[in-house]
């Protein structure tokens, strides 16, 4: 029933996850990428990727890849791969609307023998509990009789030019032994690093969600240590360098924890845990610590300003960086906005500067319009929030020129030498 030679792939969602996947499959298999954003389709057809994950040469090499904004164009496909986002709502609950919408779309296209693979991060059981019933309802077909499902969690690291989709080992799984073998073989055609075939979809879902939960909890520990060491008057970075001299000390750093994975995925796991009557204390404690770091940074800067007798009300603040991580334009779930909002609550005047972001997207997502260039000699405090290479190249002396003579320079990311800044985490 499952034959790689006759595989035709439809990718649903062409963001940071879907596009690199579509490009790699499009080098080998007939592949059609679907995105409901017509502007996104237009730029990709023109050989441009605004996420910067696929270079023009990558798009040219994918000779079997086409793009569309019309779902019905995917009707000829026999493998559907869903790569839509899985965010949380304002109450930190899983927001399944993108996944439900994509499943509804795919369900209406399903034919006997088709396979649907999900890459979106979810809690264990979500594929078969949330998505499969929608596929059955919309198609009128029977799961594991007429159509089949799989789960292969994404492992995309936005902005990382070393760890690419083909060089990161891929987890695969399927709803039957035969389809699991087929899905694994499909991904083996593009993943140079190889695959790991999980025993079930639920195991694969659980593996993905704990990858980022583990990182979240570890970063929360270091953030809490930073809070403690600040009160003790000890430089956190010096402590970490000293502890790191032991071979098995894990090299985590304090900081803001945002993005589409680490700052979101743990809530999917805690949601499922609470649904079955278990209260996940460590995971939620880590989330509380990490979600509070933006406010803590603002408080640290306010104290430094107070020591220099700089009034906070009407102070001019420059926040350098808005993306959730360095050297990429990804604004999803950035926690830099927490710093901005804290200073707005102090009635300070905040400018945000980030050479990587799309200004219209920043306005649309957060109501923040980044400045084109910071004003020299204008700011009472400067917060280096994201470690973009442009900021590293500027160096402390040139960054300080944006500030007034008595201004505060605070380094969230340890980008500058300790003796050139007024404070850091």
> What is the pLDDT at residue 25?
98
> What is the pLDDT at residue 246?
96
Count H helices, E strands: the chain?
15, 13
Q: pLDDT tens digits for the chain (425 residues)?
A: 789 999 999 999 999 999 999 999 999 999 999 999 999 999 999 999 998 899 999 999 999 999 999 999 999 999 999 999 999 988 889 999 999 999 999 999 999 999 999 999 999 999 999 999 999 999 999 999 999 999 999 988 887 788 889 999 999 999 999 999 999 999 999 999 999 999 999 999 999 999 999 999 999 999 999 999 999 999 999 999 999 999 999 999 999 998 878 889 999 999 999 999 999 999 999 999 999 999 999 999 999 999 999 999 999 999 999 999 999 999 999 999 999 999 999 999 999 999 999 999 999 999 999 999 999 999 999 999 999 999 999 999 999 999 999 999 999 999 999 999 999 98
Contact indicator for 384, 423 with CB cutoff of 8 Å: no
Catalytic residue among 77, 131, 261, 328: 261
- Tell me how far apart the alpha carbons of residues 97 and 104 are, in angstroms, rounded to a whole number: 10
Report phi then psi at 299, rounded to 5: -65, -40
Whole-prediction pTM value?
A: 0.92
- Tell me how far apart the alpha carbons of residues 130 and 406 are, in angstroms, rounded to a whole number: 57
> What is the pLDDT at residue 422?
96
Distances in whole angstroms, Cα of residue 5 to Cα of each of 10, 25, 185, 280: 15, 13, 11, 46
Q: Give Rg (Cα) of the chain.
A: 23
**Angle formed by the axes of helices 293-307 and 336-345, nearest 10°:** 50
Q: 65-68 and 115-118 as β-strands: parallel, antiparallel, unpaired?
A: unpaired
> What is the pLDDT at residue 157?
81
Distances in whole angstroms, Cα of residue 82 to Cα of each of 21, 103, 112, 152, 335: 11, 8, 18, 10, 27
- Tell me how far apart the alpha carbons of residues 79 and 76 are, in angstroms, rounded to a whole number: 9
> What is the pLDDT at residue 161?
81
Q: 379-384 and 170-172 as β-strands: parallel, antiparallel, unpaired?
A: unpaired
Residues paired with 65 in a beta bridge? 31
- Tell me how far apart the alpha carbons of residues 340 and 348 are, in angstroms, rounded to a whole number: 9
- Tell me how far apart the alpha carbons of residues 221 and 70 are, in angstroms, rounded to a whole number: 46
Contact indicator for 386, 357 with CB cutoff of 8 Å: no
For residue 331, give both structure tokens. 């604004």
For residue 47, give both structure tokens. 């050989």
> What is the pLDDT at residue 156?
84
Q: Give Cβ neighbours of residue 162 (< 8 Å, ≥ 6 apart).
A: none
- Tell me how far apart the alpha carbons of residues 387 and 327 are, in angstroms, rounded to a whole number: 8
Q: Is 34 helix (H, G, I), strand (E, B) or coil?
A: strand
- Tell me how far apart the alpha carbons of residues 297 and 213 are, in angstroms, rounded to a whole number: 23
> What is the pLDDT at residue 258?
86
Is 261 part of the annotated catalytic residue set?
Answer: yes
Provide the 10 A C-beta neighbour count for residue 269: 24
> What is the pLDDT at residue 218?
96
For residue 200, give both structure tokens. 């079930």
For residue 346, give both structure tokens. 């102090």
> What is the pLDDT at residue 262?
86
Q: On the CB side of 292, how many CA atoms lie within 13 Å of its CA?
A: 14
- Tell me how far apart the alpha carbons of residues 49 and 60 are, in angstroms, rounded to a whole number: 12
- Tell me how far apart the alpha carbons of residues 339 and 345 are, in angstroms, rounded to a whole number: 10
The dihedral built from the CA positions of residue 359, 83, 105 and 101, taken in this order, carries a sign that is negative
Report phi then psi at 383, rounded to 5: -115, 115
For residue 7, give both structure tokens. 């595989």
């Amino acid at each position: 029933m499952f034959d790689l030679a006759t595989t035709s792939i439809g990718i649903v969602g062409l963001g940071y996850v879907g596009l690199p996947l579509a490009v790699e499959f499009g080098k080998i298999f007939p592949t059609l990428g679907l995105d409901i954003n017509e502007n996104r389709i237009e730029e990709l057809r023109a050989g441009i990727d605004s996420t910067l994950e696929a270079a023009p040469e990558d798009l040219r090499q994918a000779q079997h890849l086409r793009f569309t904004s019309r779902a019905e164009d995917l009707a000829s496909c026999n493998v559907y791969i869903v790569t839509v986002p899985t965010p949380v709502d304002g109450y930190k609950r899983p927001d399944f609307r993108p996944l439900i919408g994509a499943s509804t779309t795919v369900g209406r296209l399903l034919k006997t023998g088709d396979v649907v693979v999900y890459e979106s991060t979810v809690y264990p059981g979500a594929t078969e509990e949330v998505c499969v019933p929608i596929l059955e309802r919309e198609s009128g077909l029977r799961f594991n009789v007429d159509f089949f499902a799989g789960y292969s969690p994404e492992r995309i690291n936005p902005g990382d030019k070393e760890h690419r989709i083909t060089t990161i080992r891929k987890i695969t799984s399927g709803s039957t032994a035969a389809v699991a073998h087929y899905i694994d073989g499909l991904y083996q055609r593009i993943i140079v690093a190889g695959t790991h075939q999980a025993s079930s979809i639920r195991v694969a879902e659980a593996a993905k969600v704990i990858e980022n939960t583990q990182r979240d909890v570890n970063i929360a520990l270091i953030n809490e240590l930073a809070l403690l060491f600040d009160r003790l008057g000890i430089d956190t970075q010096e402590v970490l360098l000293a502890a790191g001299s032991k071979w098995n000390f894990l090299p985590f750093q304090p900081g803001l924890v945002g993005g589409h994975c680490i700052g979101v995925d743990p809530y999917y796991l805690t949601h499922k845990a609470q649904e079955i009557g278990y209260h996940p204390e460590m995971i939620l404690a880590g989330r509380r610590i990490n979600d509070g770091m933006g406010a803590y940074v603002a408080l640290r800067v306010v104290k430094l300003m107070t020591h220099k007798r700089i009034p906070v009300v009407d102070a001019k603040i420059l926040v350098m960086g808005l993306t959730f991580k360095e050297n990429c334009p990804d604004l999803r779930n950035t926690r830099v906005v927490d710093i901005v909002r804290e200073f707005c609550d102090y009635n300070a005047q905040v400018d945000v500067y980030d050479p990587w972001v799309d200004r219209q997207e920043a306005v649309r997502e957060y109501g923040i319009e980044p400045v084109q260039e910071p004003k020299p000699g204008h700011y009472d405090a400067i917060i280096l929030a994201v470690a973009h290479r442009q900021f590293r190249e500027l160096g402390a002396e040139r960054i300080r020129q944006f500030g007034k003579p008595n201004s505060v320079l605070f380094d969230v990311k340890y980008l500058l030498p300790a003796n050139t800044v007024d404070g850091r985490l």
